[in-house]
Structure 1
């Protein structure tokens, strides 16, 4: 395991038990973002970096009983929190690095990724791996329940165009990874970039 992976695991392991209690009101924002991603009944979808699995129920509702829902996370403690919350009833939980997924190429119709991009050690590689496992024409949602300005203020930083989630940086990054940015919303109440798998 790389040092980058260990740092991510350490960060989230220390916060896993309290994660859902710290952010109790995010459920509707997750559900709305899943609706905008637009998975259909019968689709195969992945919540990449699923954490405690807050998107899994909305993904299950979207794809129905005939669809496939997977939640992958690098941190065992976060997956344990997802199990304690009963979210494994909405999808299968995998201990996996989003940059090295144990899935065949083109296996998925869509990927949902909440807060993931800022934790990828190598964003181009990570987004390319997400593209690998999605069929051409499939979709990606990069989501956060807070917009860039609010998140920067929370962390005591100035808003910067150097942020990976700024549109000028994100657009070419997605293009280089096999995605085309379709819609981009950066509001105080949410960040949501939707992309389509090219090729």
Structure 2
């Protein structure tokens, strides 16, 4: 959990994994939004890329402090449904303190075991999620389970892979899950078809369509 600008949610963890995640993000929750004050427009643009319509149902998987809830709510309107789920209680507390619960229901939980029925959603938004999934193929399949065929997944990060690596003094490795040659087959094995891939300094955004029945 060394990626300070990693987004916010996580998959199904062992007790030790769960504790580490909660401690890492919990200790940073109070100052999280202040640390990244300029992310709002990038979140809004990524949410818009989902192509949501009024009345749609969308999950923010790993919602953290809820920065995506407002643009998601704007897209689906008052007749739509917005659900945010995160593993870290302190992050959800920050979302509530900022009044973001008015934009979507907030739930403490793991994205690998979603309390959502099959094919109930039109889309999933996931900021910084994939780097923290302990079993990415399994966890992406769980996201696919709750999305109808033809629905959309957005894997988002407010800065690109190279910019993020440079920020932390790292070099990009060939095993990076977010690299297109790795991400495309991973999604394919998990019920998704990669339809759009953007990786530039000011944004990472991969869009995928739910395939099959």
TM-score (normalised: structure 1): 0.98
- Where does residue 34 of structure 1 map in the other structure? 47
User: Which portions of structure 1, spanning 4 or more consecutive aligned residues, are displaced by more than 4 angstroms?
Assistant: none
Distance 2:174 2:111 in 1: 25
Distance 1:170 1:150 in 2: 18
The SS at the match of 1:184 is strand
Distance 1:126 1:6 in 2: 19
- Residue 184 of structure 2 corresponds to residue 165 of structure 1: no
- Where does residue 31 of structure 2 map in the other structure? 18
- Residue 196 of structure 2 corresponds to residue 196 of structure 1: no
Higher relative contact order, structure no. (Cα contacts within 8 Å, ≥ 6 residues apart): 2
Shift of residue 6 of structure 1?
Answer: 2.0
Shift of residue 40 of structure 1?
Answer: 0.8
RMSD: 0.8
Gaps of 5+ in 2: 1-12
The SS at the match of 2:75 is helix
- Where does residue 89 of structure 1 map in the other structure? 102
Shift of residue 161 of structure 1?
Answer: 2.4
| Maintained 8 Å contact 1:161/1:168 | no
- Where does residue 143 of structure 1 map in the other structure? 156
- Residue 72 of structure 2 corresponds to residue 51 of structure 1: no
Per-residue CA distance 1:143-195 (angstroms, 9 max, x = gap): 00000000011111101221110001100110011000000000000000000
The SS at the match of 1:72 is strand
Shift of residue 33 of structure 1?
Answer: 0.4
Gaps of 5+ in 1: none
